[in-house]
Amino acid sequence: MTPRLEAAIAAATALLRAADGLLIGAGAGMGVDSGLPDFRGDHGFWRAYPPLAAAGIRFVEIANPDRFESDPTLAWGFYGHRLALYRATVPHAGFAVLRELGARLPHGAFVFTSNVDGQFGRAGFADERIVECHGSIHHLQCTRPCGAAIWPADAVAPVVDAATCRMAAPLPRCPHCGALARPNILMFGDGRWVDARTATQYDRLDTWRRRVGRLVVVELGAGTDVPSVRRMVEAQRAPLIRINPRAPDVAPGRGVGLPLGALDALVTLRACLD
């Protein structure tokens, strides 16, 4: 460990010790240590989905509500595969470290994530302490939509052909009107996302945030291409610990950056706090 990194870790530890509440901002990089792909660029996406690479279909073109109209078995093949993958993935040990860090503080921790994988819930964080700003693959809505209904995807058992990335029938249907259902995820160019569930999550975060007097933010694996998490945590005007192996920079006087992966950094911080 370099002297510069040691100093950064010491500074981050001091920020955690001084706080009374922890806001966790998490992007796709948070799941890498669990073995999940982060779809960094089209080439990273195509490595995870060779049939889509062969067809020249980019991430923005498959993660798009129009695909459910033009090619529903392919759209559901992509999302069905992801649903099965996320259900089978065990959250890495860094999630437990974050729970421990929050448990040390009077107001605990709250999660703000752009990830749709549900990993924080699987890792034991209460639903009432999570904002999924892009929605969740574990919930469905109508593709039309015919209304504001959102329901769990528990009944979906995806069977996906790995060679074609197409999901076998029957495809999920809206229980209210019978139209095709889709994940309750904010997609690219999406004017049909039903945001009621996420709006309620934001309300809970606002209520919690007003109670916290000495907030510290730990941001993990949040990218710059779709900077939803970065923008939100920087808007808090609170000390920021940015954990990111590729883009750890923090504005002067705003906090500290750790050029590490999520699991490595969290285990190191916990050891320093003990």
Number of Cβ atoms within 10 Å of the Cβ of 59: 18
Q: Which residue is catalytic, options 92, 134, 138, 139?
A: 134
Instruction: Say whether 107 is catalytic.
Output: no
233/242 Cα distance (integer angstroms): 10
93/78 Cα distance (integer angstroms): 27
* Residue position matching structure tokens 């498959």: 62
86/44 Cα distance (integer angstroms): 18
What lies within 8 Å, CB to CB, of 218 at 6+ separation is 16, 22, 23, 24, 25, 98, 101, 241, 243
Assigned token pair, 38:
């982060």
CA-wise closest residue to 125 among 108, 140, 139: 108
50/43 Cα distance (integer angstroms): 10
Catalytic residues: 134
